[in-house]
A = this chain, B = another copy of it.
Amino acid sequence: MNQPSNDTFLRALLRQPTDYTPVWLMRQAGRYLPEYCETRRRAGSFLQLCKSPALACEVTLQPLARYRLDAAILFSDILTVPDAMGLGLYFSEGEGPRFERPLREEWAIRDLEVPDPDGPLRYVMDAVAEIRRALADAVPLIGFAGSPFTLACYMVEGESGSEFRHIKTMIYERPDLVHRILSVNAEAVTRYLNAQIESGAQAVMLFDSWGGCLSDAAYREFSLAYIQRIMAGLIREKDGQRIPSIVFTKGGGLWLEDIAACGCDALGLDWTMDIGAARRRVGDRVALQGNLDPSVLLASPEAIVRETKAVLDSYGPSDTGHVFNLGHGISRLTPAEHVTVLVDTVHDYSRHLRGK
């Protein structure tokens, strides 16, 4: 496999010099794009879209056709893994993801097994390979997974909006059961990400969407410890190329130094944290990815330019170590043309800051 012709994203993650700051957007293949909505309609449902390698490839490439993005990210969902564990994932309109069989009983937790990435998750690997072929080494492809704790939240709650009461009660009441789920999840995610790497993913990202709902002690014990376990088990090099890893804990600003020490190459930041302050806290140990408030994209082009420049200014002068992104997934209400303003501003202004 070849290094992509635009490897700015990979170089920035590895803290090698680049001419400008690379940019991609969480959920960049999403409902704000009319062409995405059209493909999703053809697929029949969100889950069928995820499970069709051809359609997943199609939507992965859509934002790259519109914008000068520096990376593609596999179109999929973090819940493919618990779905492959047999929990019965489904999506009811306007309700978010649900599981038919949430994990509440001790016997079900004991019976939980690591799914084979080449078995029920084969479709994900097929999508990765198909996207790599379609990308033709133009930009790198990011693989991803949910963190063990975030997956456990969905698996135990079975639905959104429950304020985490089942998983939290279990944490305080039966921590042994939570640790059992997290151990299985950590192994499952490690194998899943490694299979994505073997299939062609050139960087991987771990989404810890719900770790920020935990107390300090519980975050360390039930989320970060298992992220560390995954980091220790990841394939780090493929065909002579380093495979960088990014860890993103939403609401994780309090734990930056600890996350930076988990073995990742880069830290994803949500928008609540000043990126310059984050850089001062973690130094040059890891690259930083982020962190524009996604709401900025709902405002005027002038506001988008101003706020995008503010993030770049706050990161400060450097010719590497920053991957521009939003602090959370792009809103479905974003006008598609606003993304052009963002991407062009990141490229042009970061070149300007570097005197290129």
Q: Check: A239 CB closer than 8 A to any chain B CB.
A: no
Please count how many residues in chain A sit with their CB below 8 Å of the partner chain's CB atoms.
Answer: 36
Give the Cβ gap from A15 to chain B, nearest Cβ, in Å.
24
Give the Cβ gap from A278 to chain B, nearest Cβ, in Å.
10
A272 to B211, CA, bound (A): 10
Give the Cβ gap from A279 to chain B, nearest Cβ, in Å.
13
A298 adjacent to B216 (CB under 8 Å): no
Q: Check: A102 CB closer than 8 A to any chain B CB.
A: no
A327 to B272, CA, bound (A): 19
B172 adjacent to A272 (CB under 8 Å): no
> Known contacts being A217-B310, A310-B217, A333-B165, is A273 close to B295, with CB within 8 Å?
no
A303 adjacent to B172 (CB under 8 Å): yes
- Contact for A214 among B216, B272, B298, B300, CB less than 8 A: B272
Q: Check: A331 CB closer than 8 A to any chain B CB.
A: yes
Which chain B residue lies CB-closest to A277?
A: B216
Q: Check: A169 CB closer than 8 A to any chain B CB.
A: yes
A307 to B221, CA, bound (A): 14
Complex interface: chain B residues within 8 A of A172 (CB): 293, 295-296, 298-300, 303, 307
Which chain B residue lies CB-closest to A252?
A: B272
Residues of A contacting B: mostly: helix
> Known contacts being A216-B272, A216-B274, is A168 close to B295, with CB within 8 Å?
yes
Against B, the Cβ 8 Å flags (1 = close, 0 = not) of A315-339 are: 0000000000001000101000000
Q: Check: A65 CB closer than 8 A to any chain B CB.
A: no
Tell which of A163, A172, A219, A277 has the most Cβ of chain B within 10 Å: A172
- Contact for A298 among B169, B217, B251, B303, CB less than 8 A: B169
A215 adjacent to B168 (CB under 8 Å): no
Q: Which residues of A contact B (CB under 8 A)?
A: 163-165, 168-169, 171-173, 212-219, 251, 253-254, 271-274, 277, 293, 295-296, 298-300, 303, 307, 310, 327, 331, 333
Query: Given contacts A168-B298, A173-B300, A216-B273, could you give 18 more A-B pairs where the C-beta distance is less than 8 Å?
Result: A164-B295, A168-B293, A169-B298, A169-B299, A172-B293, A172-B298, A172-B307, A173-B303, A212-B272, A216-B277, A217-B274, A219-B272, A251-B251, A251-B272, A253-B253, A253-B254, A254-B254, A254-B273
